[in-house]
Every structure is written in C-alpha cells, then in structure tokens.
Structure 1
Amino acid sequence: MTGEFADRLTSIEKKWQEKWENAEVHTTERTDAEKYYVLEMFPYPSGNLHMGHVRNFSLGDAPARMKRMQGYDVMHPMGWDAFGLPAENAAIDRDVDPEEWTRDCIDNMRGQLKRLGFSYDWDREVATCDPEYYKWNQWIFQQMLDEGLAYRGESKVNWCPSCETVLADEQVEEGLCWRCDSVVEQKDMEQWFLKITDYADELLEDLEQLEGWPDKVRDMQENWIGKSTGAKIEFPVQESDRSLEVFTTRPDTIYGATFMALAPEHELTEEIAEEDDKVAEYREEALKRDTEDREEKSKAGVFTGRYAENPITGEKIPIYVAEFVLTDYGTGAIMAVPAHDQRDFEFAQEHDIEVQEVVRPSGDHSYEEEGAYEGDGKHINSGELNGLKKEDAIEKMIEELDDEGLGEADVNYQLRDWLISRQRYWGTPIPMIHCDECGTVKVPEEDLPVELPDDVEFTETGNPIETSESWKEVECPECGGDARKETDTMDTFIGSSWYFLRYISPELETAPFDIEDANSWMNVDQYIGGIEHAVMHLLYARFFTKFLRDKDMLGEDEPFERLLTLGMVNHPAYNCPEHGWIFPEEVEQENICEKCGREVEVDVRKMSKSKHNVVDPTELVEEHGADTARVFILRASGPTNELDWSEEGVEAAEEMLERVERIVKENEEALTDERPSLEDAELFDRIMASRIQRAIEKVTKDTENYDFNLAIDEVDRLLSKLYWYEQQGGKDKVLSHGINTLLKLLSPYAPHITEELWDRIGNEAFMLEEDWPEVDEDLIDEEAEEIDAYFDRVSSDIREIVAMIEGEPEKVKIIKASDWKYKAGEKILKAIQGTKDVGEVMDKVLDGDLQEYAQQINDEVVNAVENPGSYRRDFTGLDLEEEALELNQERFEDEFDVEVAVESEESSDEDKASRAQPGRPAIVVK
C-alpha cells in the first residue's frame, strides 16, 4: 500500500463531488417510475460528524445508489434536528448566540457530509430551527388543539431553586443540579400536553403491520405502551369520606391484599404529609430521587397511620407510602398482595406485614426460601373464588365488583400523554396567548410563525424568553386587551415527528407538505438509525402520521415500512491506573503508558470523547479517502451488529480499491462494452462468465437485504477471480464484461473511484445514470461452476496437508473414489428424502452389485440419517468428477508448482486410497 494511491483517491473524490454537484445528479424528481424513499435519521448539529454518523449515512447511501441505477425514483434527503439544549448551553458557556452556533455547526457538518460523497438531494435540506419549518410545528399543534388532542395541565418538573429554572432529566445528577449542585426539587407547573393516549390502541395494534421492523423494536414499543387489562377498584379510606382507586391486573387476589401503597406524589400522601412530619420527611426525600433510584429502593417506605377497607372482605388494611409505586402507571395507588407479588412480598417482609396466601401452588412452595408465588393455581381463602383457576376467578371477581358498585373492568396503559412544554429558549415557541379576560387563546394562523425573540439574556437562571418583555407583551387577538405570549417552547421531538414529510415539499409556503406529493412518496421505504430511538422518536412519528391521516392529509397508517437499527462503533480504549483514560498515541508497545510507565488496561468500548478512543472521520477521509472509509465501515460488520474499529481493516479496504484501479488500468485498452460470446470457449472462459452472473445475483440480493458486508465480500471475490482470469489469458469480451460489472457492483460502496474508472474507460454518462447489472441466464454454466468449485475444494485440502509436512512437496497424488461409491451415494441421497429409517434406506440402496459393500454402505447410511442436512453436500457425480480432474490437472500443477498425478482408488497402492469419497478425493503429498 502506498500513500500515492490515498492521495490520488482524495483528489479523485473532490473532483467527482464537484462534478456531481454541478450536474445536480442527485436531484430527485417524481416520475411514473417506482419510488424508493430511503432515509437516515437526521443528526443533531453538534459541530462534527462521528463514526456512528458515517456508518449510519453509508448504510443509507448504498441502497439509494443501487435503486437509482435500477430505475427507481429515489428520495434520499438530509436535514438537521437543530433545536436542543446544547445550543443554549453554548450560549451561556461561550457567550454565543444559539442560532449562530447552530448555523456554524450545520455548515461544518454539511461540508463533512459532502466530503464523504453521499448522494443527498441537498435541494430538499431542512433545519428544524428555520422559522419556515417550525411554523408548521405550530400549525400542527393548533390543529391538535382544535381536535382536543392538545391541552394544558399540571405536571411535576425538576426545579433548581438556585438557578430558578426547570432542568431536563439529563441535567439532574444524583439528585443535584448539574450546574450548581443544589438539591433538585419536584415542582408542579402548568404545562402543555398532547393526547397520544387517544391513539394508544392503534399504536399498539398496528405494530403487527410493521413486518419490516426488528422484533426487538416492536417489543420495546409494545412494552412502552404497556396495555394491561384488569379492574378498577375503590378502597374506602377509614375515618374519611374519600376512597383510594387502584388498578390491578389481578382482582382475583383481592382476598390476599394485606396493605395499600401510595406513590409519594399521590394527593393523599401530600395531604397526610401536611399533618405527619415523618411522612413529610420521607416524601421530600423520595421526590428527590429519579425513577431508577426509587425502583432500586423497593423496600423503602413509611406507614401513614391511616387504613383502608377491603371492599370485599371489610378488613382493615394499613396504608403505606412506598417509593416503588409510581404515578407513571395506574393510579399511583396499589393494593399489595405480598403472597403473590415479589416486590410486595419484599416490602411486607421489611415492614413486618402479614402475608396471606390465596392461590395454592401446584407443588411445594416455601415463601421463606422462594419468596412470593406468582404462578397459576387454584384459589384458596378467597370466598366464592375458592377452587377456581386464575382466568375464571378474574372474570367472577370483576362481575361481583361491578354488581356491587365497587369497581369495574378496565384497561390501563403505561403510556402517558406527551408532555411537550420546555422552559427553554432554543425550541419552537408554543403559539398560544394568555389573556386575563379571554383565557388561553391561539395565535391567529396568519401570524404564524411565532418566531423566537432576539433580545434575550442567557444566564444560568430562569427561562431566557422571560427576559424579553417586548416579545412577551402582546395584544389579545380576541378582545384587544393586554395579554402575554406563552413562553414555553416545544419538546424537540416535535420537529423530528414529521420531518420526513417536509422533505417532500421543503419550500411550500401554504402547507406543511403537498398532500398529493406526500401520498406519492410515502411511506418511507427504508428508515435507518440508532436503537436508542426505538421508543420515543419512532412512537411520536407514528402518532403524528396517524393524526395527519385523520386530517385527510395522508393516506398511510405508518410512516416507515422497513426499519434498520445499527450497532455501535467500538474502538480500543486505554485506562491508565494513574492518568485515567488516555489517547491511543500515548500508549507504547506492550500497553505501557508513555507518561508514567505503568501498564494500562485495554478494553474495546463504544467510541466516546470521554474515553479518548474516538476516530475523527475528517482525519480518516483525508488520510485514506472517503471510499476507503465507506468500504471499511460497511464491510467490517453486519449493520445491526457492533463494529470494532480496525486499522488493518481500513488498510485492507484501501488495498482492495487500489487493486480495482490496477486491473482497470492494466486492461483499459482492450475493454469493450460488447456482450461476451462463449463460442470456442475454454473452461476458464465458461467459469468466468458464469461467475460474473453469480456475483450480480448475490451482490444485488445482499444489497437489497442490507447485508452490505456480504455484498462487498462478493465484489472482492469477483475481483480476485478477474485477476485469475486475466492470468489465464482469457477473452477480452469476457474480461470486459467482468470489469464493467465489477465497477457497477462496487459503485454503491465506493462511488468516487468507480466513477473515475468508469469515465477512464470511455463512458460518458455518470455511473448513477447507468443501468444496474442484470443476470444473463445464457452465460450461467453450472457444470463449469461445479468444476471450479471442485478445484477450490481439492486445493484447500492439498494446502492443509502441505502445511503439515516438513519441506517442499515434490508430488501430489489425487485419488478418485471407487465407482461403486458414486452409485451408492446417489441412492442414499435419494432415499433419505423419503425416510429416515436406516433399514428402509438400506433396502432401497442395496442391490446385487452393491451387496459386497453392505457394511461400508451401512456406516454411510447411519451418517446420512443422523445428519441429513450436511450429508455429502460436496457430492460430485462420477462423470463430472472425472471431467473435473481431467480439466483441472494442469491447473493443480500450476497452483502448487509440483507434479500432480491422478489415479483411481482401485488402481492405487496408497494406504489412504480407501478414504476417497465422491467429490472429496484422497490426497497424498510426497
């Protein structure tokens, strides 16, 4: 490998990127052709691409290029998920305007993307921070408001009393403010919500339609929606006129409810805390902890001194406040049945609460050793439910609750309405106005977009928008009186919930998108992104799509037909016991820290700035070329698997591309676009012509299936075969057919070098304007392929033996199996298709001339019956093997540079001759 090729490659890439841009070769127009909409999740403009971006975008570009060549109308756009907290933090920390910072980041990352040569239609670029874009966030919000899907209600927020601001969850670190280390409080605040729960059933049921999505993602969405069927039950609170409403999926276990548990946020908890210092103190501490911490403290709780009444038994039940009870599911109050729920059991053990068994295990069960019994069984200690199994008992109990007015059947969802309010500056302003006379009213549609103020102060306290009095104060559109604009901005997920539609009509001023065009392009055929977006983003995009469908703006139920979630990119990380994480260049041989001489711990981890194990895409491209980066990152691993970075892999990718260049240059004068003819063809001509067709078939299939690593492997094998064919002195037309095909098959993965070589051999059209190769059935020669495969198989066996002997081989004997073995093998293969009984197979195989080999055949039959899938996969018929040996004998001699003798098992005097089998001759190396 030489630096000259890398330098030449980077020069070639810049040349063709300019030509593509000038010719607008990646521009998309809708015609009568079949469409293909491929989309990678758009990035947040953080300033620089990382290797995860490069992998994500390379995964989308390869099929986009192939589909263009197959004649599809391809939509392949790019944009920016540009709102978010980092820009606001930059404004505070660096004293820069968030928009200016964001625009600079976009400009830099756009340049990096162009340098990688992705085939994006940049005319369709969008940025969610553009007023022309977020106008339609506001418009869709108001449409939802009109339909009763947007509303204002109270919700708790993370509040820092020192900074006087709301904190995002990621800004709370172990209960403290990330900026000032003050204790974070939970505070009630009026905020805006979207009623995604109105679509809960459809969002759940339509997961079955998403056959092109990974099962893991569908399961994650199903669990997030969290539909549960059960019953709602009222438990009266003693010495009070109120009751506790609980939801339970097991109303049949109500006889075993021995305590009630309330969430710290529950209104009864708050009421009790006002009178009980112990409850108040516990509640205050619990509210400081996040959900994960609270679930870890599943045994933590406090008795309230209050009791509820079991509505079925009339028994008195103590009421506790428990951290494991959350308001995210159910009502924030539970009936606890410690005998049959492990979490309830552990809490009961900790607080010395009675455990009442109401379901009898089918076998022995020790509560002391095994904990709660959560399986099925017959009910006991349960009144009229005694003797019933679970489902019958649930049905009977719900009937009783309903008849007595104590409860009813109910469905509960873990999914909660979407809280979209953010007390931040860098987001979409919520287009509402607060008037003392008229209440909360919409900003008139003709006044959209409500743009962000530009006279705000960025400090470490409060919402910056609140500092702009000129922006806040406004005339009420209803009464003309003094009013105030809403100062909350929208969750950034709003902008990413429909951006795939804006790409279709990026400059339309009268609507978020053109309905006719949207119905022509939607839905997205292939969506690509990280597994971290499997729940929230994808769920919100599905919600928006269904809402817009209900507004007669879309004809699709779902936004994304197929989903590909990519694995992480890993790189060795080095941890010094004295200096912590250090850069790879600070590690000497044998993993020694150059700073202190101590041995460092090496671990392969996800690329991360904090671990100092990041590979800079810009440096990689400048050093090795964009094509090298793309080929390596797509070949190193399947797209859904984790990818371990390897300098050797990068060099191998570069070497492959240089070999492609070399074979073209060596043969460019003889290359032609004429169809190859196999008249008077030698075996190697037939092999090569057929091999090209198989490569077309496999690369096309693998690219369709996103098995890009397998596709590139196949291209590399074709390249090696072309070098072999070149050495055989093959026909120019066959070699030309192979090289032309090679360049086209490689072009989705290495578009620059293939474009350069395509142009070099006299083609005037861009590669994307050429047709994708199609299999020529007339050039497929299965017999030639078998003979070639036979050569590869036997050569591999010879190499294994040569590697085990001392010295250089002088002669190789290839010993063909006895004729009877072919006849018996054919009969065995046929017989095991109909039966797996050894006796029946033997009866079908043995006849007069095979009887003398019965014992050997019996051993073969047993093997075939036990391993029918793998038995004799390399079986070769007698005539074909004899032809293969005759035609390949000289080839074997050339390959190993020794004398090669071919003999039969019957005539051989070698001890190993009896090992010969059809398709796997015995090998003797002398």
Structure 2
Amino acid sequence: MWVADYVLGHYGTGAIMGVPAHDERDFQFAEKFNLPIQRVIHGSEVHPYMGVGVLEHSGAFDGMDSETAKEKITEEFGKKVTRYKLRDWLVSRQRYWGCPIPIVYDPEGKAHPVPAKHLPWKLPTDVDFTPTGVAPLARSKELLKRTEKIFGKGWKPEVDTMDVFVDSSWYFLRYLDPKNKKEFSSLKKQKSWMPVRRYSGGGEHTTVHVLYSRFFQKALFDLGLVTESEPYCVRMNRGIILAEDGRKMSKRWGNVVNPDEQVVHVGADAVRTYLAFIGPYNEVGSFPWNTNGLVGVRRFLERVAGLSEQVADSPLSEDLAVPLHQTIKKVGDDIESMKFNTAVSQLMIFTNELQKHAAVPREAYETLLRLLAPFAPHLAEELWANLDHRTSIHREKWPSYDSTKLVADMVTIAVQIGGKTRGTVTVPRGASEEEVLAVARQDQKLALLIPQNPSRKVFVQGKIINLIP
C-alpha cells in the first residue's frame, strides 16, 4: 500500500487500485519506486497503453474487450456510483447591480432575515459608484435610514448584493405570471407554458447560466413549486458577429458596427437579411462583419424588386416547378432548424433562376415574396401590394410544396470521351446506360466523336457517361 499526492481523499473512497501499465500517473509512480508493471489489456507494447483492447492476466475476465469488462467487473465487485463535483457557490457581490440581500444585523451583529411584510427589499437610489474599495450600498444613507426606521437604532443592512445569476436563473418562470402577489409563478400557467421550447444563447452561457438555471429548476421542482424538472427542451448555442477587422467589437478599438448607421445606407431589410445570411445561427462560430457582403445582399433585394416588372399571368412551366418546390421545402426546413443563412442562399439561387425567364409566372414570384417576407418584411409587403393585393403578405398562408415535384422528370447528363466533356444530353430520369448512349448517338455533334467500340464505359446514372476509346 502506497500514499500518493495525486490520490484525493475526498474523491470516491480515497483509495484506488494502481494499474501502471494503463494509467499515466500510475506508470510514473511505478517507475519512480521501481514497482512491477503488469499489462492487463492487450493493445500495445508501449507503456502506458490507455486505449481499448482485450483483457489478459485478469482471471475469469481474460478475453473480454475492455469496455465490456468494465461493466462485468463492476457487477462482480462493486456498484456504479455517480459523483457530482459541486462546490459551494458564493452568491454575494460587492457591487450595486444585483438583488439586495434581505438580511439585516442587530446592534450585536447577529443576522436576521427581513420579514415578508417588508419585501421586496429594494435597492437604494442614492448610490455613489466611485471605486473606493467599499461596497456601494455601504455608503448609502438611504438604505441605512430605512433599516433603522424599520428595525431600530443601531441596526445595519447587508451591503452585498447577489450574483446576477441568482436573478437570471428563474426569470422565465416569473415572466409567465409577473403580477401574481400570492405565488412567484402559478402552477396552472406553468403547465400551459413550460418547459421553454428553445433556449438560444451565447457560448459563454453554456457552462454558467445553463448550469445555474437547471440547478434552480431542479431545486424548485423538489420543493413542489414548479411543474417541470428541466427548464428547457432544447439548448442552442449561437455564434458571434465580429468586427470587420476580425476582432470582437469594442469601443476601445473603435471597430463597433452600428446597425442604425447601416440601415441609413442600405435600408432595414438589407441589414436584417444580411444578419441572417452572415453565418449559421444554429452553430457556434465567429463571423466577421463584411460591408461588401451587406452590399451584395442589398443588390439581391434589388434583383427581387426588379423581377416585378417581368411578372406575367403565364402558367408555371416544369423547368420552374421543380426549383420552386425545392425552394419552398428548403427555406421552410432551414427556418425551422434556424439555418437562416442557407435559407437566404436558396432564395438567391431561385431568384437567379427566375431572372433567366423573360416572363416570370405570377405564381412563382408571389411564392418568392412569401418566402422572403420573414427576412425582408418591408420590401416583401410593398411588392405584394404592387401586385394588387389588398391584405398584408404577413397574413398569407406559408407556401406548401408538392413532394412529387421535388425531382425533375428529365435530367441532363454529361457525355465525356476519354475523360473530356464533349457535350450533354437530356434523358428521362432513371435512363439506363444503353438508353443514354442511344440518345447521345442521335446528337449530330456527339455522333462524330463517340467511338463505335469503346474499350470501356463509365456510367453514373443521372449524372455522367464516359466512353474510353
């Protein structure tokens, strides 16, 4: 039996089994004190080996893979125990912004809770924020006077305030019932609204606010004060928009982008659409502001507006029906999953497709406007009204797609000779190699190039045929 400083007395039982062949610290300890090193997992001759493998020198467990063996050994000699690495949380802060702690001290220095009839215990307003090393509330005459008026001469208030996470860990429960004076949040209203369907926040909240708010929720659940043991259904981290120089926006660096100023230059819809387009909202990342990108989005909106002059009451052709229904599906799906950037990208692709047509079918253009409305609400509303609609576009039903029109009946296949593309042919989807080759031989240009007896043919259905001479 050995005593080692890396074995923690408060962790588990305070005693561990040394396995120097498969643990880095145990290996270093065994080498220093010249202890035997017995390999028990076959995987590598190099010590220490910390990967998975097959057990050896382990009696009845020989031959088992190490992951299975963990379960079996635990069942045989012990039991699973979950241990939480929770530490005490110091909730007091020596600053003004925070909930005042409802504690007062008698002349002997003994702490007393503020009675319920005097709650809420509010912050004073006569606070000096000049840094002096003394908590701001300690210099408040208003707070001291209030305390002595209620409790008597010589009584003093607590001058620390609570950590802001004490407030923000349960605010969503009070939002449901902000005027209730009998309980902090009605159970009836919680049953209607809780849990929060989606919590979207910055990466800095992941290990702090999420931890604290879940801790509060579970404690309140155990007390019977809330209806749910978990506060959120889904937690989603979002990225951060950096300055144009790639750094975080800061007044100190003078690189802050003021959105109001951008609105003056390019309009609110362009700024709004660019913010959706700048990067995936549903993924953690850093996305530098790019003025050229903003200008590009503005030009895209101008192209959408320009298409209004080409709108005609013509039927929707098949070559437009497929990209239209693909766009309806993708934009709808992307909005649901918060992939706003790819939704805008798809709208740009479809706009480019419409620009190829001298006459844009009304059905296609009106659908484009309804899909664009969440991103550019003002422009979409104006263009919608210009099409003689009397009601707001934002009251229109969201477009639905036809699943049978998501794939074209005809496809264009590249024809290669010796690996070089010599032309294309249009054939029915699902056409076989023989059918594609027959159509290619009917093309006057390709017929002169296609070898009569190619040595080899490479065919990828619906995409390419390559004929090797």
TM-score grouping bracket, smaller chain normalisation: 0.7 to 0.9
| Aligned match of 1:635 | 277
**Contact 1:816–1:903 at 8 Å: present in 2 too?**
no
Show the counterpart of 1:434: 105
Q: Counterpart of 1:720 in 2: which secondary structure?
A: helix
Give the drift of 1:660: 0.8
Partner of residue 516, structure 1 = 188
- Tell me if the contact between 1:541 and 1:559 (Cα under 8 Å) persists in the aligned partners: yes
Taking the TM superposition and a 5 Å limit, the aligned residue runs for 1:76-225 are none
RMSD across aligned C-alpha pairs, in angstroms? 4.8
Aligned length: 445
1:717 deviation in Å? 2.2
Task: Give the whole-Å Cα distance in 1 for the aligned partners of 2:423 and 2:73.
Answer: 78
Aligned mates of 1:459, 1:510 — CA distance in 2: 40
Higher relative contact order (CA 8 A, sep 6+): 1
Partner of 1:902: 443
The answer to whether the 8 Å contact 1:881/1:919 transfers is: no
Give, as a single letter, the amino acid of the residue that structure 1 aligns with 2:443. Answer: V
Contact 2:414–2:423, Cα closer than 8 Å, also in 1: no
Aligned partner of residue 743 in structure 1, secondary structure: helix
Please report how far the alpha carbon of residue 370 of structure 1 lies from its aligned counterpart in structure 2 after TM superposition. Answer: 4.8
For residues 480-879 of structure 1, the aligned pairs below 5 Å read 482-508=154-180, 510-570=182-242, 573=245, 614-639=256-281, 640-642=283-285, 643-667=287-311, 685-725=317-357, 727=358, 729=359, 735-775=361-401, 781=405, 785-787=408-410, 789-790=411-412, 875-876=430-431
Is structure 2 residue 4 aligned with structure 1 residue 259?
yes
Measure the CA separation in 2 of the matches of 1:390 and 1:782: 50
Q: Secondary structure at the match of 2:356?
A: helix
Give the match's secondary structure for 1:687.
helix
Equivalent residue letter for 1:503:
Y
| Counterpart amino acid of residue 319 in structure 2 | I
Q: 1:260 to 1:545 in 2, by over 3 A?
A: closer
1:419 alignment partner, SS class: coil
Q: How far did 1:493 drift?
A: 0.9
Identity of aligned residues (%): 28
Structure 2 stretches lacking a partner, 5+ long: 60-68
- CA 1:413–1:547 in structure 2 vs 1: closer, same or farther (change >3 Å)? closer
Inter-CA distance 750–421: structure 2 relative to 1 (3 Å threshold) = same
Q: Is the 8 A contact 2:42 2:56 kept in 1?
A: no
Match of 1:420 in 2: 91
Residues of 2 paired with 1:880 and 1:647: CA distance? 51
- Look up the equivalent residue of 1:558 and give its one-letter code: E
Q: 1:722 to 1:439 in 2, by over 3 A?
A: same
- TM-score (ref. length: structure 1): 0.41
For the residue of structure 1 that corresponds to 2:295, the secondary structure is helix
Mind listing any 5+ residue stretches in structure 1 that lack a counterpart?
1-254, 263-324, 381-388, 400-408, 574-603, 679-683, 803-811, 823-873, 886-900
CA deviation after TM superposition for structure 1 residue 505, in Å: 3.5
Query: Structure 1 pair 261/565, CA: closer, same or farther in 2 (3 Å)?
Result: closer
* Paired residue secondary structure (1:749): coil
2:234 partner SS: strand
- Please give the alpha-carbon distance, in whole angstroms, between the structure 2 residues aligned to 1:413 and 1:782: 51
Distance change in 2, residues 1:511/1:635 (3 Å) = same
C-alpha change, 1:460 and 1:816, in structure 2 (3 Å) is closer
Counterpart of 1:497, as a letter, is: S
In structure 1, distance between residues paired with 2:434 and 2:158: 86
Q: Are the aligned partners of 1:663 and 1:723 in contact in 2 as well (CA < 8 Å)?
A: yes
Q: Name the amino acid aligned to 2:231.
A: P
Residues 722, 362 of structure 1: alpha-carbon distance in 2 compared, 3 angstrom cutoff: closer
After TM superposition, list the pairs within 5 Å mapping 1:316-395 onto structure 2.
Answer: 330=11, 339=20, 342-343=24-25, 354=33, 356-357=35-36, 360-362=39-41, 370=47
Q: 1:614 to 1:430 in 2, by over 3 A?
A: same
* CA–CA distance in structure 1, aligned partners of residues 439 and 268 of structure 2: 43
Deviation of 1:754 after TM superposition, in Å, equals 1.3
**Would you tell me which structure has more helix in proportion to its own residues?**
1
With the length of structure 2 as denominator, give the TM-score of the two structures.
0.75
The residue aligned with 1:835 is none
Mapped partners of 2:139, 2:14: distance in 1: 41
Counterpart of 1:451 in structure 2 is 122
Letter in 2 for 1:700: G
Q: CA deviation at 1:622?
A: 2.8
Letter in 2 for 1:618: D
**Amino acid of the structure 2 residue aligned with 1:415:** L
Structure 1: which amino acid aligns with 2:374?
P
Q: Name the CA shift for 1:526/1:396 in 2 (closer, same or farther; >3 Å).
A: closer
